[in-house]
Amino acid sequence: MRKHHWALVSLSLNLIQSGLKFLGGILTGSLSLVGEAVHSLSDAAASVIAYLSIKFSERKHARFPYGLYKLENIGALAIGLFLIITAYEIAHRALTREIVIDRSALPVGVGVVVFSLVSSLTLSFLERRAGEKTGSPTLIADSYHTLTDAFGSLVVLTSLLMSWAGYNYDRYFALVISGIIVYTALGLMKDQIGVILDISADEETVRKIRGIILSFPEVESVKRLLVRSAGGRLFVDAVIVLKRSSFMRSHAVADAIEERIYREVPNVEMAFIHYEPAREERLRIGVFSSDGDTLCKDFRGAKKLYIFEEQRGDPEVVDLGDMPEEELAKILVRRGVDIVVCGHHPESSAAKWILHRNGIFVWETDRENIYEALSEVSRQKLY
């Protein structure tokens, strides 16, 4: 079942329990059973909040591009408040009211309470397991709330059985359970407030994501890594420092990191990888020449390689001689060339693969003069 289906099941069960407890309380004259009926109504209200928060948290809107996932955490926070109210009700009844049981109607009361106890424990277990599986904080919070209903039923059952035996220790059990409920509620509220304030995800998750990023050999370091949780979803924002690489290669590495994070880390809704060079990068443009200032029409006729770098004057000149296209591609890689200007792409498949793998862009042109061909190339045209 989907998350909102569990909320509907919880709502239905709480309404059924509330009706039966009211009936049993009226027949037996048990004030604690009537109080438990009110408690079940508060559970039903909490289930309505859980259903609405889950249903609307998955919707996106132009003004909420990141989704409304925090509605789940707000819903869980509201359930925590219901838990505290419930604890107060139990403690107040235990300290101020006396439970008087009509022994003739005791079987009805015990039957109602046993049904409520068993059904609440079963739903709490199933709902918590579904919440852990789907990563829904609201389902987990509602499962704990359902568990408090089971505790309340246990208090009433203990009261009924002890009253039948002539003893009345119900108020002491109620105070202990009230303390447990308050402790549970405060723990839930603390977690949800942290999420609403954009607290970081747990250390294990952050460490796993950092390990994925650093597993790429192109990554020199992780400059910043922010991982926050909202409604059981994770949002990753990282700034990484890459070793020297071309623009296209750097972009491909960032895309590969994001894809792997989505694949290996559960419940990641968005992952943004921003990259920076390890040092200031300058575009290196290589131009193949066949004779002096004459541009080479293809790789095979290349005799010299002119390497131009931004903000530098004279180019670096590399004598090539007669080399196969694959060797020319390797020289471009070793010299750190980002763009090579030539009449045509290489014909060799091996040379093409070397250039592609290392992110070297081949700029084809019909210009004959290397400087005229160089004027065609600019960073703006590549981005």
d(CA 239, CA 324): 40
From 226, 252, 277, the end of a domain falls on 277
Average pLDDT over residues 144-165: 75
Using pLDDT thresholds of 50, 70 and 90, give the confidence band for residue 208: very high
The CATH number of the domain holding residue 262 is 3.30.70.1350
pTM for this predicted structure: 0.47
The stretch 231-256 carries a mean pLDDT of 78
171 and 236: one domain? no
Check: CB of residue 241 under 8 Å from CB of residue 223. yes
Band the pLDDT of 381: cuts 50, 70, 90.
very low
Position 358 scores a pLDDT of: 76
Note the pLDDT of residue 137: 65
Q: What percent of the chain has pLDDT over 90?
A: 5
Top-ranked range on mean pLDDT: pick from 59-63, 110-114, 376-380:
110-114
CATH number of the domain where residue 59 is located: 1.20.1510.10
pLDDT, residue 209, reads: 92
Tell me: do 175 and 46 sit in the same domain.
yes
Amino acid at site 245: S
Helix residue ranges, H only, 135-169: 137-165
pLDDT tier, 257 (very low <50, low <70, confident <90, very high otherwise): very high
Does position 28 have pLDDT exceeding 80, yes or no? no
∠ CA 1-51-112, rounded to 5°: 85
pLDDT at 311 over 70: no
> Do residue 314 and residue 267 come from a single domain?
no
Can you give the pLDDT at residue 245?
61
For residue 293, what are the domain limits? 284-382
Q: Where would I find the beta strands (DSSP E) of the chain?
A: 219-230, 233-242, 268-277, 284-291, 294-295, 304-309, 316-319, 339-342, 361-364
